[in-house]
Structure 1
Amino acid sequence: MSAPLPNALRARFKACLEEGLSGRAAAARLMLSPATGSRWARAIRQHGDAAPAPPGRPRGRGKLVPHQAFLEELVAQDPDITLHELRDALAMAEGVKVHHSSIAALLKRLGFSRQKDRWWPPNSTAPA
Structure 2
Amino acid sequence: MSCRAVAARFGIGVATAVRWRQMGLAHGRAVAGKPGGDQRSSKTDAHAGLIMTMLDDNGGITLAELRSGLAAQGVLVGIGTLWRFFDRRGITRKKRPATRSSKTAPTS
Equivalent position of 2:87 in the other structure: 108
TM-score by length of 2: 0.61
* Matched pairs, number: 96
Contact 2:41 2:85 in 1 (8 A): no
In the TM superposition, residue 91 of structure 1 has moved relative to its aligned partner by 2.2
Equivalent position of 1:7 in the other structure: none
Equivalent position of 1:122 in the other structure: none
Contact 2:54 2:66 in 1 (8 A): yes
Supply the AA of the counterpart residue of 2:75. V
CA distance in 2, matches of 1:30, 1:44: 18
Match of 1:42 among 2, 10, 22: 22
* Secondary structure of residue in 1 paired with 2:90: coil
Equivalent position of 1:125 in the other structure: none
* Secondary structure of residue in 1 paired with 2:29: coil
Equivalent position of 2:104 in the other structure: none
Equivalent position of 2:75 in the other structure: 96
Structure 2 unaligned residues grouped into runs of 5+:
98-108
Question: 4+ residue runs of structure 1 moved beyond 6 angstroms?
Answer: none
Supply the AA of the counterpart residue of 1:110. R
TM-score by length of 1: 0.54
In the TM superposition, residue 103 of structure 1 has moved relative to its aligned partner by 1.6
In the TM superposition, residue 115 of structure 1 has moved relative to its aligned partner by 2.9
CA distance in 1, matches of 2:34, 2:70: 33
